[in-house]
Amino acid sequence: DTGVSQNPRHKITKRGQNVTFRCDPISEHNRLYWYRQTLGQGPEFLTYFQNEAQLEKSRLLSDRFSAERPKGSFSTLEIQRTEQGDSAMYLCASSLATGRAEAFFGQGTRLTVV
Protein backbone atom coordinates (compact mmCIF):
# COMPACT_ATOMS: atom_id res chain seq x y z
CA ASP A 1 0.00 0.00 0.00
CA THR A 2 1.43 3.37 -1.03
CA GLY A 3 -0.35 5.50 1.54
CA VAL A 4 -3.13 8.05 1.20
CA SER A 5 -3.65 9.20 -2.38
CA GLN A 6 -5.37 12.42 -3.44
CA ASN A 7 -6.42 13.52 -6.91
CA PRO A 8 -5.97 15.89 -8.54
CA ARG A 9 -2.85 17.45 -6.98
CA HIS A 10 -3.70 20.86 -8.39
CA LYS A 11 -6.96 22.40 -9.60
CA ILE A 12 -7.54 25.84 -11.05
CA THR A 13 -11.16 26.79 -11.55
CA LYS A 14 -13.22 29.85 -12.32
CA ARG A 15 -15.39 31.37 -9.63
CA GLY A 16 -18.85 29.83 -9.67
CA GLN A 17 -17.77 26.44 -11.03
CA ASN A 18 -18.13 23.17 -9.14
CA VAL A 19 -15.10 21.05 -8.27
CA THR A 20 -14.72 17.53 -6.92
CA PHE A 21 -11.68 16.01 -5.22
CA ARG A 22 -10.99 12.35 -4.55
CA CYS A 23 -9.19 10.66 -1.66
CA ASP A 24 -8.13 7.01 -1.52
CA PRO A 25 -7.18 6.11 2.08
CA ILE A 26 -4.86 3.38 3.30
CA SER A 27 -6.87 0.23 2.61
CA GLU A 28 -7.37 -1.07 6.15
CA HIS A 29 -8.19 2.36 7.62
CA ASN A 30 -11.82 2.92 8.51
CA ARG A 31 -11.54 6.58 9.56
CA LEU A 32 -11.20 9.30 6.92
CA TYR A 33 -10.79 13.03 7.51
CA TRP A 34 -10.95 16.11 5.29
CA TYR A 35 -9.12 19.28 6.28
CA ARG A 36 -8.51 22.65 4.64
CA GLN A 37 -5.19 24.43 5.10
CA THR A 38 -4.21 27.96 4.12
CA LEU A 39 -0.69 29.36 4.14
CA GLY A 40 0.80 29.62 7.62
CA GLN A 41 -2.16 27.97 9.34
CA GLY A 42 -2.77 24.51 10.75
CA PRO A 43 -5.21 22.09 9.10
CA GLU A 44 -8.80 23.22 9.69
CA PHE A 45 -11.22 20.34 10.29
CA LEU A 46 -13.99 19.99 7.70
CA THR A 47 -15.53 16.56 8.16
CA TYR A 48 -14.84 13.01 9.27
CA PHE A 49 -16.11 9.54 8.34
CA GLN A 50 -15.98 6.21 10.08
CA ASN A 51 -16.55 3.61 7.38
CA GLU A 52 -19.34 5.07 5.21
CA ALA A 53 -20.94 7.13 7.99
CA GLN A 54 -20.23 10.87 8.13
CA LEU A 55 -19.95 11.37 11.90
CA GLU A 56 -18.84 14.98 12.28
CA LYS A 57 -19.09 18.06 10.11
CA SER A 58 -17.61 21.44 10.95
CA ARG A 59 -20.06 24.27 11.53
CA LEU A 60 -17.70 26.32 9.39
CA LEU A 61 -18.58 24.14 6.41
CA SER A 62 -21.15 25.91 4.29
CA ASP A 63 -23.90 24.15 2.37
CA ARG A 64 -21.75 24.47 -0.76
CA PHE A 65 -19.48 21.72 0.59
CA SER A 66 -20.47 18.07 0.57
CA ALA A 67 -18.50 14.91 1.16
CA GLU A 68 -19.29 11.26 0.58
CA ARG A 69 -17.70 7.92 1.27
CA PRO A 70 -20.17 5.59 -0.42
CA LYS A 71 -18.67 2.18 0.28
CA GLY A 72 -16.41 3.03 3.16
CA SER A 73 -13.36 3.13 0.91
CA PHE A 74 -12.55 6.22 -1.21
CA SER A 75 -14.12 9.60 -0.47
CA THR A 76 -15.05 12.64 -2.56
CA LEU A 77 -15.30 16.27 -1.50
CA GLU A 78 -17.38 18.54 -3.72
CA ILE A 79 -17.46 22.31 -3.61
CA GLN A 80 -20.32 23.95 -5.47
CA ARG A 81 -20.31 27.52 -6.80
CA THR A 82 -16.69 28.06 -5.81
CA GLU A 83 -15.61 31.42 -4.36
CA GLN A 84 -12.13 32.96 -4.20
CA GLY A 85 -12.10 32.32 -0.45
CA ASP A 86 -12.20 28.58 -1.16
CA SER A 87 -8.64 28.74 -2.49
CA ALA A 88 -6.60 26.51 -0.17
CA MET A 89 -4.91 23.14 0.17
CA TYR A 90 -7.45 20.39 0.82
CA LEU A 91 -5.91 17.55 2.84
CA CYS A 92 -7.28 14.07 3.34
CA ALA A 93 -6.09 11.78 6.13
CA SER A 94 -6.99 8.27 7.25
CA SER A 95 -6.50 6.23 10.39
CA LEU A 96 -7.52 3.07 12.18
CA ALA A 97 -10.37 3.40 14.67
CA THR A 98 -8.55 1.57 17.45
CA GLY A 99 -5.35 1.97 19.41
CA ARG A 100 -3.21 5.05 18.89
CA ALA A 101 -5.05 5.82 15.67
CA GLU A 102 -2.61 8.39 14.28
CA ALA A 103 -3.74 9.98 11.05
CA PHE A 104 -1.74 9.54 7.85
CA PHE A 105 -2.04 12.38 5.37
CA GLY A 106 -2.17 12.52 1.61
CA GLN A 107 -0.21 15.13 -0.35
CA GLY A 108 -3.29 17.30 -0.73
CA THR A 109 -5.16 19.00 -3.55
CA ARG A 110 -4.28 22.66 -4.06
CA LEU A 111 -7.33 24.59 -5.26
CA THR A 112 -7.03 28.00 -6.86
CA VAL A 113 -10.23 29.88 -7.66
CA VAL A 114 -9.75 32.70 -10.17
Partner 1 sequence: GQNIDQPTEMTATEGAIVQINCTYQTSGFNGLFWYQQHAGEAPTFLSYNVLDGLEEKGRFSSFLSRSKGYSYLLLKELQMKDSASYLCAVNVGGGSQGNLIFGKGTKLSVKP
Q: Which is nearer to partner 1, 45 or 74 (CB)?
A: 45
Residue 52 within binding range of partner 1, rule CB under 8 A: no
Which one of 23, 65, 86, 106 is in contact with partner 1 (CB under 8 A)?
106
Cis peptide before 43 (omega within 30 of 0): no
**Interface with partner 1: number of residues (CB under 8 A):** 27
Residue 33 within binding range of partner 1, rule CB under 8 A: yes
Residue 42 within binding range of partner 1, rule CB under 8 A: yes
Residue 28 within binding range of partner 1, rule CB under 8 A: no
Q: Which is nearer to partner 1, 17 or 52 (CB)?
A: 52
16 contact partners, CB below 8 Å, separation of at least 6: 81, 82
Are 12 and 84 contacting, i.e. CB atoms less than 8 angstroms apart? no
Question: String of b and e for 2-33 (b: at least 16 CB within 10 Å)?
Answer: eebebeeeebebeeeeebebebbbbeebbbbb
Q: Which residues bind partner 1 (CB under 8 A)?
A: 31, 33, 35, 40-45, 48, 50, 53, 55-56, 91, 93, 95, 97, 100-108
